[in-house]
Structure 1
Amino acid sequence: MNKQVRQLKIRETLRLHEVGNQHDLIRLLEEAGIKVAQATLSRDCTEIGVVRSRGAGGYRLVLPEENPGNIIKGLVGVEVLSIESNETVVIIKTLPGRGHGVASFFDQMKNSPILGTVAGDDTVLVIPRSVSQISQVISYIQENLSKN
């Protein structure tokens, strides 16, 4: 079975079933006639953007389309301690070990006033598309960290 067909079946399975973890996903795929190694499944899930999300019934695997950002926004918002800037860049301070996750969250945004980020353990350097947009970048960051 080729990768595209396998990833399509993973998406379909996640849309049709409440899947708590990759072990459950492997079982459901096997029931559908698809045998996949855990390492291959893990790579596929990463490539198609599957995330583990906490809901009322506990954790489950979800596709990005099902998770428009509110869940992740709430998590990222909790990880950010402060936002500061000068006339050229914005610095986001995070909880220890969360700089890369926060940077990745902003790097994946579409139509963003952010050109890119550089992450350390607990600090994210945010580079605006234009230095004249520093205040808009700060507002954009704050809006995307709110939980509503």
Structure 2
Amino acid sequence: MTISSSRTARQQRIVSILSSRAVRSQTELLGILAADGIDVTQATLSRDLVDVGAEKVRVGKSLVYAVPGEGGDRTVRVAPDGQETTSRLAQRCHELLVSADVSANLVVLRTPPGAANFLASAIDHTSVRGVVGTIAGDDTIMVITTSASTSRTVAARLMAYTRKENV
């Protein structure tokens, strides 16, 4: 993954990390960022955590960093477990996905008018193996994958969620 060295890109990566896994310390977060090729000092990281609104919250017997939800929701959210995000994606596909077409390393998804951003967000917040990212319009989503074979697998998986028994 190539990440810009800008403050905004770094802070977006921090939010992405804190939204996807439990991070217990700034030292742990520094290590994760370093593995991504982002070199940052502890002082800068501390300022970034304040800027993104991260807070330490109790989960079980330990404290982990959490960030506020999207869309102006200032409620601090702990990173959901993988099963929770996958079931959310399955539910969104069942409700919103109309069709999926594959072309090379792209999957083109169709939704009812106005629903594409909602489904794309669910895909973006779920670790779907091989998905690089999504671009959403009004009723169409382009899912970029790592290869043509991955595109076929992703399309089949998302369409499987449209069947009632898979929700």
| Aligned equivalent of 2:135, options 118, 121, 142 | 118
- More off after superposition, 123-132 vs 105-114: 105-114
Aligned residue in 2 for 1:96: 113
Q: How far, CA to CA, are the matches of 2:142 and 2:155 in structure 1?
A: 12
Runs of 4+ deviating beyond 3 Å = 63-69, 143-148
| Aligned equivalent of 1:138, options 140, 147, 155 | 155
Aligned residue in 2 for 1:4: 55
Q: Which amino acid counterpart does residue 127 of structure 1 have in structure 2? A: I
Q: How does 1:41-120 map to 2 (within 5 A)?
A: 42-45=73-76, 48=77, 64-65=80-81, 67-120=84-137
TM-score where L is the length of structure 2: 0.48
Q: How far, CA to CA, are the matches of 1:91 and 1:133 in structure 2?
A: 13
Q: How far, CA to CA, are the matches of 1:97 and 1:108 in structure 2?
A: 19
Instruction: Give the number of the structure whose residues are more often helix, by fraction.
Output: 1
* Unpaired runs of at least 5, structure 2: 1-52, 61-71
The DSSP-based 3-state class of the residue aligned with 2:142 is strand
Aligned length: 101
Q: Which amino acid counterpart does residue 98 of structure 2 have in structure 1? A: L
Over the aligned positions, Cα root-mean-square deviation in angstroms equals 3.1
Q: Which amino acid counterpart does residue 73 of structure 2 have in structure 1? A: S
* Unpaired runs of at least 5, structure 1: 13-40, 50-62
Identity %: 22
| Higher-Rg member (1/2) | 1
Q: Which amino acid counterpart does residue 93 of structure 1 have in structure 2? A: R
Aligned residue in 2 for 1:56: none
